[in-house]
Amino acid sequence: MTNEIHRMVFSESMKLADLIDVNFKLLNVLSRLGISLGFGENTIREMCDRQGIDLNSFLLICNVYTYDGYVPSADLLAAADAGTIVDYLHNSHAFYLDRELAALESNLSLMVEPCDELQKKIVGKFFASYKAQVKRHFNYEESVVFPYVRALKTGECQEGYSIEQFEENHSNIDETLNDLKNIVMKYLPDTCDTVVRNEVLYRIYRLEEDLLKHTIIEDTVLIPVVNRMETL
Amino acid sequence: MKSAYKKVLLIIPSKVLARGVEAVLAELGEFRVEGILSDLSHASEVRLRNMDADVIIVDPVVFDYVSRMNVRARLSEYSSAAVVALLTMAMDGEQLKQYDGTIGMYDEPVSMVRKLRESISSREEAADSEGPDLSQREKEILVCVAKGMLNKEIADFYNISIHTVITHRKNITRKTGIKTVAGLTVYALLNNLIDSGSIEL
């Protein structure tokens, strides 16, 4: 199994176009890393050099994002750049809030259009509380965790905080999104248009998967990389 | 429709043991192993929920020491099957009480089958609400939850134990797929179990 995974992982000489062909969900990852489309025949290395993106961090993120159960080697983690990873996570937060949740919200209101006022209100309120929950969670990372990592990178020693305290708890957010999925799928009145409802579900499933990968990148990349910096 | 045999799901990390149990049961008919999980990852949970097993045989080593007390509760979130422990190590008697039965690695195949049969009937007696829809009592509890009552308050209100309230809540979550209080409130409202006047909107 381990060997199989090693054979599959992406390498720096791969063309970006092939990378996307292997896993089209990396399209979002590329844009969060600051790479736009139109990359022609460029390889991963060429693009990273040109854009000033840390190559090892790029590979780490793409591999973890694509292969379930992929555990980065100690060498790769040692070579990764905490700043790039934090930038990626920060851009992802912005993407979720400004794009994904906004789009989901407008899909949802289109979906409940045929429902009665009360039902609209119920669904609207549930989504608003989910969004607030997500924002709270992101805010903590943006205001505590990321500044800490950036400061650590510039050699500033910070007393009183360590990445150990970054006790990851996405579970509440996951549960609420999962509830929304069940409500949309099973319990809304059948006056709602099926096609619109399907769109909402596709969006929820994609977001769910994307958020899961986000958590995995925090847990298997950010935390070990920062742990290592702390002990240096 | 009742199938001719009982479906068994194994949650056993050891392949040797899992294949062994499968083979022993296959020889005797009546019980058939339909799935083998080696852990309780997310993917396993989905399978667990959808397999519709009659009995789950679990090796308690899957759970760490602390969560070993709550195996039954954890599994009942996903499945209404009888849960039988496969004794692969010495275990605290208290921890064994939660199971519908136990089997040992040295059991004769015939007595193993008998124990599985007993566990299913003891499970059926214990379960009062196994339909896919919420029972009347579950609906009542759901309404309390939606109104923001705590488990303790619900227990006092209906004069039942907190443990019973928790069991009801687990069954509600298993049947609806909804875990959070906010989600349960939406469910209750959409299904007209409560009117909007009784909660803040």
DSSP string, A144-169: IIHHHHHHHHTT---TT--GGG----
Residue pair B133/B175 in contact (Cβ under 8 Å)? The answer is yes
Q: With an 8 Å Cβ cutoff, are B180 and A176 in contact?
A: yes
Report the residue of chain B nearest A128, measured CA to CA: B182
Residues of A in contact with B186 (CB under 8 A): 122-123, 126, 179, 183, 187
- Cβ of B186 and A186 within 8 Å? no
Separation of alpha carbons A14 and A44, rounded Å: 6
Q: How far apart are CA A209 and CA A205, in angstroms?
A: 6
The average confidence (pLDDT) of chain B is 85
pLDDT for residue B19 is more than 50: yes
Q: Which of A54-68, B56-70, B136-150, B174-188 has the least mean pLDDT?
A: B56-70
Q: Which token pair is B81? A: 């099957």
Identify the residue whose tokens are 């429709």: B1
* Structure tokens, B124: 């059926």
Q: What angle do CA A213, A29, A21 make, to 5 degrees?
A: 100
- Could you tell me if A118 and A47 lie in one domain? no
Closest-CA residue of chain B to A189: B190
B103 - beta bridge partners? B86
**pLDDT surpassing 80 at residue A219:** yes
Edge-to-edge strands, sheet with B55-58: B31-37, B6-11, B55-58, B82-87, B101-104
Same domain, A142 and A168: yes
Whether residue B40 is predicted with pLDDT greater than 90 in this model: the reply is: no
Residues A9, A64, single domain; the answer is: yes
Say if the Cβ atoms of B182 and A126 lie within 8 Å: yes
Q: Can you tell me the ipTM of this complex?
A: 0.81
Supply the mean pLDDT for chain A: 89
At A89 the pLDDT is 96
- Which residue range is the domain that position B26 belongs to? 6-126
Q: Give the pLDDT of residue B48.
A: 80
d(CA A60, CA A29): 12
Q: Which domain holds residue A135?
A: 82-231
Q: What is the pLDDT of residue B97?
A: 81
Residue B132 banded pLDDT, cuts 50, 70, 90? confident
Inter-chain touch B183–A179, beta carbons under 8 Å: yes
Residue A100 shares a structural domain with residue A188: yes
A107, A203 in Cβ contact below 8 A?
A: yes
pLDDT value at B198 more than 80 = no
pLDDT bin (cut points 50, 70, 90) of residue A1 is: very low
Q: Is the pLDDT of residue B23 over 70?
A: yes
Indicate the SS3 state at residue B83.
strand
Q: Do A182 and B183 touch (CB under 8 A)?
A: yes
Write out chain A residues lying below 8 Å of B187, CB-based: 183, 187
> What average pLDDT does this structure show over A16-35?
93
In a domain, B151, yes or no: yes
In chain B, the number of structural domains is 2
Residue A2 is predicted with a pLDDT of 46
Query: Is A126's CB within 8 Å of B190's CB?
Result: no
Q: Which of B126, B159, B186 delimits the end of a domain?
A: B126
Verify that A97 and A72 share a domain, yes or no: no
CB distance A187–B189 less than 8 Å? no
Residue B85 in tokens: 């422990």
Return the biggest CA–CA distance within chain A: 61
Contacts of B183 in chain A (CB under 8 A): 126, 175-176, 179-180, 182-183
The predicted structure's pLDDT at residue B53:
87
Q: Is the pLDDT of residue A4 over 60?
A: no
Contact A121 B179 (CB under 8 A): no
**Residue B12, pLDDT score:** 92
Q: Which two tokens stand for residue A104?
A: 């989901």
Give the mean pLDDT of B109-136.
79
Where does a domain end: B126, B159, B190? B126
Q: Are residues B120 and B188 in the same domain?
A: no
Length of chain B measured in residues: 201
Q: Does B39 map to a domain?
A: yes
Q: Residues of A with CB below 8 A from B178's CB?
A: 179, 182-183
Could you tell me if B12 and B36 are in contact, meaning their C-beta atoms sit under 8 angstroms apart?
yes
What is the C-alpha to C-alpha distance for residues A214 and A230, in angstroms, rounded to an integer? 22
pLDDT for B93 equals 79
Query: b/e map of A185-199 (b: 16 or more CB within 10 Å)?
Result: eebbeeebeeebbeb
Average of pLDDT values for A126-137? 94
Is residue B131 a contact partner of residue B125, using CB atoms and an 8 Å limit? no
pLDDT of residue B45: 78
* Per-residue model confidence as pLDDT tens digits over B61-76: 888 877 787 787 788 7
- Beta strand segments in chain B, E: 6-11, 31-37, 55-58, 82-87, 101-104
Is B132 touching A (CB cutoff 8 A)?
Answer: no
The pLDDT assigned to A3 comes to: 45
